[in-house]
Amino acid sequence: MPRVATGESSLSRAVRVLEAFTAEEPALSVSEVARRSGLHVATASRIVGQLVEHGLLGRAPDRTVHVGMRMWELASRAAPTRSLRDAAMPFLEDLHAVVGHHAQLAVLDGDEVIFLERLSARDAVVNYSRIAGRLPLHISSSGMVLMAYGPPELVDRVLARPLESRTPATITTPDQLRAALEQVRRQGYALLTGHVHPDAAGIAVPVRNALGEVVAALSVIVPHDARAVSAVPALLAGARGIGRSLG
């Protein structure tokens, strides 16, 4: 198309532009967008201009660009997990009210957990997960549940790459992982203490639909102490409620 052939569709470039925006830096200059997306500044400027026209991006008075309302609207109104979220919300609220701290709903996407919803108390322990945020499967209790009840080849894929370590407590060897998954299946829940953060414990249970398939993980993050495990019954009850609501 230009002097230098690229062999790439113009739609890909637009997606690269959209991918430049993160939770940490939701507002970028055009130059910054160009840098992150690896596009020529003029190209980035043009694409950003078009996306702004369509409302997928928005432009602030200081000329910085951010994800637009329309983008959020299009993605949210027809989100693939809308029915799951709707079914889960009341139970997530109850769980949060009873257990406090963080209550979360997560699903499997690719070989990672993605968090659909999170309710947090103001004085809660630290939590690195965010809504629409991802974590490696072996780092989070939700991920352990999804792995334990997921397709067998999933574990193989996860083990095909080195297990990223975040804290000294992180599972790092295949044997540890397989043993931990076996324990999850035996217990019916996953309890990870200090795997994300030294002072936090994550507890997750599977959410099953009417067919008994595990479609999500319901979890809480609480302080790492002896009472942590007492959240399990509330989690199990919530997961059953969600499953029933899924119809």
Residues 174-233 that bind its own copies (CB under 8 A): none
Residue of 3, 4, 5, 22 interacting with its own copies (CB under 8 A): 22
What is the C-alpha to C-alpha distance for residues 16 and 8, in angstroms, rounded to an integer?
Answer: 11
What is the C-alpha to C-alpha distance for residues 111 and 166, in angstroms, rounded to an integer?
Answer: 17
Q: Between the CA atoms of 92, 93, 97 and 99, what dihedral angle is there, to the nearest 10 degrees?
A: 10
x/- track of binding to DNA for residues 60-89 (CB under 7 A): ---xx-------------------------
x/- track of binding to DNA for residues 29-58 (CB under 7 A): xxxx------xxxxx-xxxxx---------
Closer Cβ to DNA, 36 or 166, answer by number: 36
67 DSSP β-pair partners:
57
Residues 41-80 that bind its own copies (CB under 8 A): 47, 50-51, 54, 56, 58, 66-69, 71-80
Residues 118-157 that bind its own copies (CB under 8 A): 119-122, 130-134
The side-by-side arrangement of strands in the sheet containing 27-28 is 27-28, 65-67, 57-59
Q: How far is CA 186 from CA 135, 180, 189, 207, 240, in A?
A: 24, 10, 8, 16, 18
Min dist. Cβ of residue 211 to its own copies (A):
15
What is the C-alpha to C-alpha distance for residues 230 and 84, in angstroms, rounded to an integer?
Answer: 26
Closer Cβ to DNA, 64 or 81, answer by number: 64
Contact call for residue 22 and DNA (CB under 7 A):
no
Binding partner of residue 4 among its own copies, DNA, none, CB under 5 to 8 Å per kind? Answer: DNA
Min dist. Cβ of residue 210 to DNA (A):
24
| HEC profile of 99-150 | HCCEEEEEEEECCEEEEEEEEECCCCCCCCCCCCCEEEHHHCHHHHHHHHCC
Residues 119-138 that bind DNA (CB under 7 A): none
What is the C-alpha to C-alpha distance for residues 147 and 17, in angstroms, rounded to an integer?
Answer: 32
What is the C-alpha to C-alpha distance for residues 120 and 97, in angstroms, rounded to an integer?
Answer: 10
CA count, 13 A, side-chain hemisphere, 239: 28
Binding site for DNA (CB under 7 A): 1-11, 13, 29-32, 39-43, 45-49, 63-64
Binding site for its own copies (CB under 8 A): 9-12, 14-15, 18-19, 21-23, 26, 47, 50-51, 54, 56, 58, 66-69, 71-82, 89-90, 93, 96-97, 109, 114, 119-122, 130-134
